[in-house]
Amino acid sequence: MTNPKSKSAAKTMAAGTASLPEAELQMIPLNKLVISPKNVRKTPATEEQDAELYSSIKETGLKQNLLVHKVGAKYHVHAGGRRLAALHKLADDKVIKPNHPVACSVEDPDQAEDTSAAENMIRAAMHAADQFEAFAALRKKGRTEDQIASQFGITTDLVRRRLKLASVSPELMELFRAGEMSLDCVMAFTLTDDHARQIDAWEVVKQHYSPSPHSIRNHLTQQSYSGASKLALFVGIDAYKEAGGTVIEDLFSERDAMHLEDPDLLEKLATEKLQGLADEAAKTWKWAEACLDVDYDSFRPFGRVYPQPLDPDPELVAEKAKLEERHAVLEADYDEATWTEELQEEDDQIWKRLREIEAIEDANVAYTDADHKIAGCIVSIAHNGEPRVESGLVRPEDIPESEPVTSDQTGEENDDDDAVATSGPSIELPATMRQSNVPMNATDAARKEQGIPRALTDDLRATRHQIMRAHLAADYGTAYDTMLYAMVMSVLGAYRSQSPLDLSLRPATTTASRETLKDTVAERMLEALKDGLNLGWMEVKAPEDFHQLSQLPDGDKQALFAWCAAYALNQQLSNDSDANPVIEATGSRLSVDVAACWRPGADNYWGRVKKDHAVETAKTLIDDRWADDKAGLRKAEIAKAMEQAFCDTPQESAGVTAETAAKTSRWLPDGMAVGDTEDAAVISEMGAAEATSGSEEPEALPAFMDDAA
């Protein structure tokens, strides 16, 4: 009898087409199957992978035949060893019988190694996006997260993550499939289920050189608070939710895993809770104020009273004296040859108890009734989310007029200029009210003459610093040389020179000028540069984060270096008495154009200086007639007129001539300009008259700043 398959094969061969090898399919009892030494897979899979396979076969059965060859009474499995192991485990667990029939394709022993190699090597793993959608499909069929986890032998948390990934916009998932987006970026988009927000975030971050998960998360959470923020800790997640606040959870981030989406609600709840604490404190103090955010500068306007020591506890005094006496005896009798562990333990206990008593004595202080009558407190939130009460603050208007105290009254002379002597409590004066014996330098004297207050000087210095920092953060070469200079001077220069950088990488203190620095050209430059930094490597644990950093492209490393160097840049005005010339040289190399980034306006300059200074400046740069016309106006009106005449487009705003506009549109207060520029349009207060003849056009901003500006 002729085998019909042979006829078919003969016809195929006759047609000139090669036939595919065929294997005989048989149902073979499990107890007759053993692993073959010809199986090329020698390295075992992970326990997690084997657990997934076991659960899959248990739930859905064996979906792929084993490939075997016969050896005596047994069948050797040369392809499907993990499936065989899972089946044996199912038999051991009594899920199936030991002789459970298993579908096997029986091959010739000579084919075993070739087939085993082909099955293990010529395979394509399922794309991650397909995995996410497969899990989502099972969920739509009604499977619970626990059921899916059981089916695939994985944790419920892993199922939640894969289902969360399936919620990413199909448009973004296609980019992921095409290799245009990393899996880490897909994970970052799961912070929101709103596809429109996801796509909007992608459109923003893809403008950067290398979009990172950090920049995506930053964009999606810029209007929210982290669950680890001090406001969230202070209010409490449960209280926030009870008030109707919504929360988004980041299943893929070890840091800041929770974000509170309603910042207004959170701040309202925090303010109300703080106000309750302040109201309670006001029952004791003259006044109490609730503040969401404070810094050291917040307390500078206040004087202070401090708690005074109370009468000590006689029992503690006696105990302390006794312990000190015993310690003196032990110290006097100390001999290494006779010193025992018992004596050492006794000495240690004495020291421990003495420290405890000293701590009790230090805490045994209190404010007096007189303190409470003139002082108050500010209630805020500490970094750990706990309430912080800064007590003993005295407003300037509550400080009593000082009364002279003679040596006859006190028995000694009072040389403390920082305190005021009154018939009531001793008050430490605010910094602004303290007398100073330090002679005023020429620059400070000139500023005082022009009516430029210290706060305005600080704002100008902070503004100039922000502009220089934005330029330095974009210039790796200058940042590298400046940082290298600072390092060498610190290590090899024996501190002979003032360093232009703080090598501890602390930012310059500009908190008092915080509002002045908001929404500026320099701020937008810095935000654009920071968003472009490659920070994805920071999201893994050490030392893997270091390895990933080491493998970054040189451009990414240089951007990070420049950003950190600029972060530590010290601030100054060029005419400060202690101005560092290296900072000015750095600014010159960067070609920092302060006038292109900042203009003196009514709020940030003209409204804060003397009226005479504004009029004299107008006479020098515009003309006497224009200045005389404005001299009779109120200060606010003059400030507005000066703002228009000294803006970017004074011809349009103030109607001045082109020659005058060339001067006023580039004028800067003394100390604000950077470097030895020969651009005659950049004029300082001290040299305005000599510089008014130039007409050279100002240099254009670098390309990366045009958009920000």
**Close Cβ partners of 52 (under 8 Å, ≥ 6 residues apart):** 152, 153, 154
Instruction: Summarize pLDDT for 31-84 with one digit per residue, the tens.
Output: 999 998 887 676 677 777 788 788 778 877 887 889 999 999 899 998 888 899
User: Between 544 and 34, whose confidence is greater?
Assistant: 34
What is the mean pLDDT of the segment spanning 585-590?
A: 92
Instruction: Summarize pLDDT for 459-481 with one digit per residue, the tens.
Output: 899 899 899 999 999 998 888 88
Question: Does residue 251 share a domain with residue 155?
Answer: yes
Which pLDDT band holds residue 322 (cuts at 50, 70, 90)? very high
Question: Does residue 585 share a domain with residue 607?
Answer: no
Which pLDDT band holds residue 226 (cuts at 50, 70, 90)? confident
Question: Does residue 598 share a domain with residue 585?
Answer: no
What is the mean pLDDT of the segment spanning 412-429?
A: 58
Residue where a domain stops, chosen among 557, 590, 623: 590
Instruction: Summarize pLDDT for 267-311 with one digit per residue, the tens.
Output: 899 999 999 999 999 999 999 999 988 876 778 888 899 998 888
* pLDDT the model gives residue 684: 38
- Structural domain contains residue 112: yes
Residue 421 has pLDDT above 60, yes or no: no
- Structural domain contains residue 268: no
* pLDDT the model gives residue 420: 52
Question: Does residue 569 share a domain with residue 602?
Answer: no
Q: What is the token pair recorded at 547?
A: 């390895």
The letter for the amino acid at 222 is Q
Instruction: Summarize pLDDT for 671-696 with one digit per residue, the tens.
Output: 999 975 433 333 333 333 333 333 34
Residue where a domain stops, chosen among 229, 246, 263: 263
Question: Does residue 600 share a domain with residue 515?
Answer: no
- Helix axis angle, 128-140 to 156-165, nearest 10°: 100
Distances (CA, A) of 502 to 87, 320, 499, 671, 705: 65, 45, 7, 22, 26
* pLDDT the model gives residue 209: 60
* pLDDT the model gives residue 423: 54
Instruction: Find the CATH number of the domain harbouring 96.
Output: 3.90.1530.30
Question: Does residue 472 share a domain with residue 355?
Answer: no
Question: Does residue 111 share a domain with residue 79?
Answer: yes
- Structural domain contains residue 637: yes
CA 34 to centroid of chain Cα atoms: 57
Residue where a domain stops, chosen among 345, 365, 385: 365
Question: Does residue 631 share a domain with residue 569?
Answer: no
Place of tokens 């018939």: 423
Question: Does residue 651 share a domain with residue 569?
Answer: no
Question: Does residue 580 share a domain with residue 606?
Answer: no
Which pLDDT band holds residue 315 (cuts at 50, 70, 90)? very high
Lowest-pLDDT choice from 163-177, 254-268, 514-528? 254-268
- Structural domain contains residue 312: no
Instruction: Summarize pLDDT for 143-198 with one digit per residue, the tens.
Output: 888 887 776 666 777 777 777 778 888 888 888 888 888 888 888 787 777 888 88
Residue 364 has pLDDT above 60, yes or no: yes
Domain range for 64 is 26-121
Q: DSSP assignment, residue 430?
A: P
User: Between 668 and 611, whose confidence is greater?
Assistant: 668
Q: What is the token pair recorded at 312?
A: 């000590």
Which of 115, 97, 98 shows the shortest CA–CA distance to 106?
A: 115
- Structural domain contains residue 548: yes
Strand partners, 106: 24, 68
**Close Cβ partners of 303 (under 8 Å, ≥ 6 residues apart):** 393, 394, 395, 396, 399, 420, 427, 428, 429, 430, 433
Burial of 679 (0-12, 13-18, 19+ CB in 10 A): middle
* Residue 622 parent element (H or E): none
Residue 583 has pLDDT above 90, yes or no: yes
The letter for the amino acid at 99 is N
- Structural domain contains residue 3: no
Question: Does residue 576 share a domain with residue 603?
Answer: no
Question: Does residue 113 share a domain with residue 168?
Answer: no
What is the mean pLDDT of the segment spanning 420-436?
A: 67
pTM beyond cutoff 0.75:
no
Q: DSSP assignment, residue 400?
A: P
Q: What are phi and psi of 259, to 5 degrees?
A: -130, 135
- Structural domain contains residue 467: yes
Q: What is the token pair recorded at 394?
A: 């005295």
Task: Give 313-344 as a DSSP string.
Answer: PHHHHHHHHHHHHHHHHHHHT--TTT--HHHH
In percent, the amount of the chain with pLDDT more than 90 equals 30
Q: What is the token pair recorded at 276?
A: 């309750």
* pLDDT the model gives residue 217: 77
Residue 564 has pLDDT above 80, yes or no: yes
Domain tally for the chain? 5
- Structural domain contains residue 543: yes
Helix (H/G/I), strand (E/B), else coil: 365: strand
